Chains A and B, each alone.
Chain A
Amino acid sequence: MQANIPQLSICVPSRNRQRYFQETIKALTASPRDDVEFVFADNSDDSSIMDTFIQPYLSDARIKYVPSGEKVRPMVDNWEAAARETTGRWITFIGDDDYMDPDAAGLFRRIEAVEPNVEAIDWAKMTYFWPDEHRPPAGQAVPLTAEIHRVPKSLLMDRTFKWVSAKRVLLSGFSIYHSAVSRRLFERIRRTYSGRFFEHPIVDYDSLMKNVMHGETFIHVTRPLSVLGACPLSSTAAIGNRDRADKIQKAFHQEHSQPMDDWPCYKDYPFKSRHGVTACIGMLHHWFSKTYGHNFRDYEANFAVACAVQCEQSDNLEQFNIYAEAYREAFRIWKGGKYLKYFKPIFKPQTSSAAFMGFAGDKLFVFEGSEWTRTVAGFYRLVGDILVPVEEVSLDLSRRVVDASKDVNLGNLKRAGGMRR
């Protein structure tokens, strides 16, 4: 371990996606920074692959490796195991097919200098699809601004617990997944929840709800610092495809001694994991309110709208009908059918068109299928030559407070860049 406390712990939990996990480890450890810590937590059926791969890396003092156990850990326990290993001032999690810029550590230090009370930092994310023979590469949106803003807790409370402005998922930001939590907030949450940070199987939103409930000062960075990768094996790649989503879900349930759907708190709750991602977050919301005695109000109609959005992202009409009917059935039962009227999905055929690149609306779309973007880190590197360098992100907090989860309107923007030395 380094002599000093690391500024940032980047945790990467993984299960059975060794090929991508290995790429992520290579990319992260290529950073020369000595103020970061990497926690790699494997949870694969065959432990030997990563155990062998990691050997030459173990001499790197920044690395902590959690090997797969005798028995597969439920995802929530694997995340908790990774979290326990962290010692950094800031903690973040990414998936094993994602990328996070270790230089964020320097930015967090600068942010702390201008806002010592900051407890959670969120940033613009990009998406990247790993090469997949079943999916043609596309242009991915790249936000071009590089500023920081305070985000009021009241706004985050509304977005998280009232589902305000939710799409298919909550749009609050400030989970621990592709966002960072200060050690102070992290420990406060652990103390509050019986010594654990992660409890619910929907780990990312579990942390979101706790961060928003217990955090005080939130800062959003408009410059992207990480990329959400989607490999052919990931759940992101299964969006809209019920068969793939079902397979992933089945495997997920098998990790747990008791599938989430069978938990006592969901006995009379009609939304189940088979409904899809929006229902899963609804289940978490329900669990959180029941377990910790929060009486959330005025969220139901927004939740129904979000469920409709999920249905609308179905690959085809048949899948749309299956999802829509399942939700409709649940809304008929839930709370006396009062919110069924808000659930009005409309099938929108998914048009497949050529990959779009260039400037559209307010974002630059960068092609993910070029020879420079064969990995998620390669994509980030290429984009990094366009963006303002991380060390040049403007720290002017006197700007108006913005709604972090809404994209900054680049349509009106005249200049969104900065100096590089």
Chain B
Amino acid sequence: MTERARLSICVPSRNRQDTFRQTIRDLIANPRPDVEFVLADNSDDPSVMNAFMAAIADPRIRYLPAPSETLPMQDNWERTMEATSGDWIVFIGDDDYVDPDVSDVIQEIARRQPATEVIGWNRPSFKWPSYRPFSGNLNFSLLNDVRRVDRAAMIQRMFLWEGASYVPASPFTVYHGAVSRAAMDNLKRRYSGRYFEHPTVDFDCGGKLLFSAMNFVFVNRPLSILGATEKSNSAAVGRYARAMEIYDTFIREKGNRFESGGAMDDFPFKSFLGVAGSIMSAQHWFKQRYNIRIDGWEENFVRAMATDCSRAIDRSEFELQVELCRRAIAAFAGGKYLPAFAPRFTGTHAGMFTGLNGTVLYVDERIGDCQTPAELYRILQSLTAPVSELKYEFGDARLVDAA
């Protein structure tokens, strides 16, 4: 290290060396000395990344090579987190991008609002060119402001699924968000001595932070990009068969201990039902394990499942997912939430919206024929005010609802 790390950018990876290497190249292209990059490979063939990393001499990098035996995802994330030294932590996927200059925004927030523990921001999505089975848009806010967020509203969004699309509308997690070291350590102390327990690592962390941290700040501007490739979990969105494949691999590699045994056995919402099902399964596990009772999520969640089904790009996959979800809903609480489940197949030929909706701008994800998430980020930089122009609205005592 040339300077103490204020920010640790963590990238755990598994078997996606092509995008992982690109992500590393893009991150280290930023010369700022106050960030460290913790790069943790967990691939079947360790030699690819080992050879690549051997050719890079950057003192900001901490590289964790793939171990002889594949680690469960939560263990790979855990060792990544353990290797960090920064005051703040950000995790991204190996096909994503985060602007290392987010460190300036974090420092400025910490200076103005020292109690801040968790920071969220806009993270537009990007499909890599090799994986564009259908065209799509991406969106981000043009407000360019920074505000404190009402934690209670976020808990409702996360656990009651209020205002959810197919996922809960809470942007606060260490994945594409920043968490102070103190908040991460507090979470670890509070929950079984680990940073990450459940394989649905992002929502495992996000859910726990809403209970263990108090001070949340939201930046209404894009600061990172969520990438998707053929091999991503997010690429399974709209492709149920792909989701099933990922689920099968998951069960094969890690067993089913998070979805079976005790109260998990009787809970019909499991990860094979899709993205919403997967998050609900993780939330149920968390609530059971830590004796947290939250009522009133059912109807919103069932609607989110319907939205998840509606994202199918293929009618037969849509019908399969709908049928499995319907069975699960019927098996829950005497089927009383079935009326809220009304998925509609729209397909991918309905077109996509570009332009302005409220203060959110929608653009074609192929804008500028961008090839990588970092390139997309640079394009968005030319559409958004620079981070130096962010409006810090901390004078306003009112807490906002980030979503």
Contacts and interface: CB of A to CB of B under 8 A. Distances in A.
Interface of A: 144, 146, 354, 356-359, 364, 366-367, 369-373, 381-382, 385-389, 410, 413-421
6 contacts: A359-B142, A364-B142, A381-B368, A414-B357, A420-B353, A421-B351
B137 to A, nearest CB: 8
Given A373-B382, A419-B350, 14 more contacts: A146-B355, A357-B385, A358-B389, A359-B359, A359-B385, A370-B378, A382-B367, A382-B382, A385-B364, A385-B366, A416-B355, A417-B354, A418-B355, A420-B353
A413 B382 CA distance: 23
Interface string B348-378: 0111111111110111101110000000001
Nearest to B144: A358
A386 B367 contact: yes
A53 to B, nearest CB: 26
B353 A364 contact: no
B356 A385 contact: no
Contact of A364 (B137, B143, B356, B358): B356
Interface of B: 135, 137, 142-144, 349-359, 361-364, 366-368, 378-379, 381-386, 388-389
Contact of A367 (B137, B362, B383, B389): B383
B362 A417 contact: yes
3 tightest A-B CB contacts, nearest first: A417-B355, A358-B385, A359-B142
A387 B349 CA distance: 19
A372 B379 contact: yes
B351 A385 contact: no
B382 A372 contact: yes
Nearest to B385: A358
Interface residue SS majority, chain B: mixed
Contacts of B378: 370-371
Instruction: Name, among B350, B356, B359, B389, the residue most crowded by chain A CB atoms within 10 Å (CB to CB).
Output: B356
A152 B202 CA distance: 57
Given A358-B144, A385-B366, A385-B368, A419 B383 contact: no
Nearest to B137: A420
Contacts of A359: 142-144, 359, 361, 385
A372 B371 CA distance: 12
B385 A382 contact: no
Contact of B367 (A364, A385, A388, A416): A385
Contacts of A357: 381-386
Contact of B363 (A146, A356, A381, A385): A385
Contact of B355 (A354, A358, A388): A388
A386 B361 contact: yes
A144 B359 CA distance: 12
Contacts of A144: 355-356
B363 A386 contact: yes
Contacts of B137: 420
A370 B379 contact: yes
Contacts of A410: 356
Contact of A385 (B142, B349, B354, B388): B354
A366 B351 CA distance: 25
A104 B354 CA distance: 19
Contacts of B364: 385-386, 420
A373 B367 CA distance: 12
B54 to A, nearest CB: 31
Contact of A387 (B354, B357, B389): B354
Contacts of A358: 142, 144, 383-385, 389
Nearest to A357: B385
B382 A367 contact: yes
Contacts of A419: 350-353
A356 B388 CA distance: 11
A364 B352 CA distance: 20
Contacts of A366: 382-383
A162 B176 CA distance: 57
Contacts of B356: 144, 364, 410, 413, 415-417
Contacts of A417: 353-357, 362
A386 B356 CA distance: 9
Contacts of A370: 378-379, 381-382
A421 B349 contact: yes
Contacts of B144: 358-359
A39 B141 CA distance: 42
Nearest to B142: A359
Contacts of B367: 382, 385-386
A192 B121 CA distance: 62
A1 B228 CA distance: 47
Nearest to A358: B385
Given A385-B364, A386-B363, A420 B352 contact: yes
A381 B370 CA distance: 12
B379 A382 contact: yes
A51 B350 CA distance: 48
B355 A356 contact: no
